[in-house]
Amino acid sequence: MSENRLFRRRRWWLASWYTGIMGVILSLCGLGVYEAIVRAHRVNIDSEVKSVAGTLHDSLEPVLKQPGQLTPVAQEVLPNLCLKAIHCPIQRTDLERHRVSEIRKDSYYLRLVDRSGELVAFSEQLPEGLPLLRPQQRWQTLTSDKGIHYRQISLWLHTQDNRRWGDLQVGRSLEDIEDNLAAIRGIMLLGLSITMLIVGASSWWLAKLAMQPIYDSYRQIQQFTGDAAHELRTPLAAIQATIESTLRISQLSDSEARETLQVVKRQDQRLSQLVDSLLLLSRMERRGWLSRQNQYSHSDRVSLHDIVSDVAEELAPLAMAAGVKLITDIRVQQSLEVMGNEQQLYRLLTNLVTNGIQYTAADGKVNLTLDRYQQEALIAIQDTGIGIAPMQQTRIFDRFYRVNSDRSRITGGFGLGLPIAAAIAQAHQGSIHLQSQPGKGTTFTIRLPLKRR
């Protein structure tokens, strides 16, 4: 749609809000998923460290005799331990490597601390610069000089006679976990960015889709205002010109004054007819007319046979003057009745038949047919006139629209007859269908639900 600046700003506003809200929702969802992944990793790491520490604790505690001292048997249980101030052994046998396989992993370390918090022994893989803290809690997260985080568990050790020996500290590096989480964050941020681009484009399209009916209504209002002003300008200009020409005459005769008043009266009637038609359309659209808001106090039983006959009788002189043959064909013997307003149904048929007569050349004909199909009454108005092009058929029921503007102005039409007819049919739960071919004529078919007996 071709948008003006106001609608484009509104469209940007709607798209921005939708994108922002979706961004917040997706970000919160992504944060929740990320926190769930972090928690799963943390639980898994804690379980793993606890299992390794428990195994070492159960192997070491039965061979401890004196608090803060390691017996040779304890050193055999953990042969890769480095005692404080003593260099660590380098060569290991296959059996030793098997015994200490759990703590020889690069991501694990082990420390033995006495009751005073002094380091007694540690594993070869002890990270540099890892702080030795007196355990205030069972679980701790420490950081080495290289900025690597470690998850550590501290377990009490007791001697064979159940005296407090010190603490067993087992830790695991979180470097691989953090690298994995960093990769996940990168993927999620990239995915969020791509998703937001898609959401932004979708928001722009959805904003257009949502505002299209509003914009169409806005354009219809603009068009209606212009058309109404144009229709009002013609009779007003005629009145103004007549008055100005009359004022230039110094001595105005009775016949000239009467002629001036007649011109003003004709244009006044034209204006009144236009205003009445517009008010009728406005009431129908605003209140839903008749059945929707019960505009009239009650609905009457209306005989379509009588209406068709009356319309044909009233418009016969108009058809004769135009050289058009008006044919009435009532194909059902039983009276067809509908619930509605007789005056408006009469106007419905009058508008359509008049329209057919006006657009049919001399020696042509207009057929007015009444028939029945199941529980509906069918009224067809078929003419042999100029027809309507396919591109114009979609707009034929628009206000002020004319297939032939020049001819409509000559006949005094405003382009409101068909819109009023369509509104009346819809108000009676009916419809109007159009079939037309240029040069071959037009057929309007009215469908109205019959009164239930």
Angle at which helices 5-60 and 175-247 pack, to 10 degrees? 170
3 state SS of 75: helix
Q: Coil, helix or strand for 315? A: helix
Residue carrying the six token digits 């002094």: 118
Q: Encoding tokens for residue 40?
A: 């799963």
Residue 174 and residue 26 share a domain:
yes
| 162 and 311 fall within a common domain | no
Domain hosting 71: range is 5-181
* Structural domains in the chain (count): 2
**Count of beta carbons in the 10 Å neighbourhood of residue 48:** 14
Which of 130, 156, 181 is the C-terminal boundary of a domain? 181
Phi-psi region of 33 (alpha: psi -120 to 50; beta: other; left: phi over 0): alpha
CATH number at residue 396: 3.30.565.10
Rounded Cα–Cα distance for residues 359 and 380 (Å) = 16
Residue 270 lies in a domain: no
Residue 216 amino acid letter: D
Kindly give the confidence (pLDDT) of every residue in the chain, 453 residues in length, as a single tens digit, with 9 standing for 90 and above: 455 777 888 889 999 999 999 999 999 999 999 999 999 999 999 999 999 999 998 888 888 888 888 888 877 777 777 887 565 654 444 444 444 444 545 588 999 988 888 888 888 778 888 888 776 788 988 988 888 899 999 999 999 888 889 899 999 999 999 999 999 999 999 999 999 999 999 999 998 888 888 877 777 777 667 666 766 776 777 788 888 888 888 777 888 788 888 878 877 777 776 777 677 777 766 655 444 444 444 567 888 999 999 999 988 988 898 899 999 998 888 888 888 888 888 888 988 998 889 888 888 999 999 998 888 899 999 999 888 888 877 777 776 666 665 444 444 555 677 888 888 888 888 889 989 888 888 999 999 998 776
Taking alpha carbons only, the member of 161, 134, 165 closest to residue 69 is 165
Classify residue 198: in a domain, yes or no.
no
Domain assignment of residue 212, yes or no = no
Task: Select from 392, 372, 388, 398 the least CA-distant residue to 441.
Answer: 388
Give 356's contacts (C-beta < 8 A, 6+ positions apart): 366, 381, 382, 383, 385, 442, 444
Residue 232 counted as domain residue = no
Alpha carbons 233 and 235: distance in angstroms, whole number: 6
In 3-state terms the chain splits into helix, strand, coil percentages (rounded to 5) of 50, 20, 30
The order of strands in the sheet holding 108-114 is 81-83, 119-123, 108-114, 164-173, 149-158, 139-143
Q: Which CATH number fits the domain that encloses residue 32?
A: 3.30.450.20
Q: Are residues 145 and 10 in the same domain?
A: yes
Report the predicted TM-score, pTM, of the whole model to 2 decimal places.
0.53
DSSP notation for 28-41: HHHHHHHHHHHHHH
One domain, residues 307 and 177 = no
Question: Do both 156 and 25 map to the same domain?
Answer: yes
Query: What DSSP line would sit under 189-228, residue for residue?
Result: HHHHHHHHHHHHHHHHHHHHHHHHHHHHHHHHHHHHHHHH
Beta bridge partners of 382: 367, 443
Phi and psi of 312, rounded to 5°?
Answer: -60, -40
Domain stop point among 141, 158, 181: 181
Same domain? 175 vs 305: no
Label the pairing between strands 365-373 and 325-330: parallel
DSSP string, 158-197: E-TTS-EEEEEEEEEE-HHHHHHHHHHHHHHHHHHHHHHH
Residue 268 located in a structural domain? no
User: For strand 164-173 and strand 149-158, is the pairing parallel, antiparallel, or unpaired?
Assistant: antiparallel
Within a domain: 64: yes
Which of 155, 181, 207 marks a domain boundary?
Answer: 181
Beta strands across the sheet bearing 376-383: 325-330, 365-373, 376-383, 441-449, 431-437
Residue 271: inside a domain = no
Q: Are residues 16 and 152 in the same domain?
A: yes
Helix (H) or strand (E) holding 276: helix 254-287
User: Is 364 within a domain?
Assistant: yes
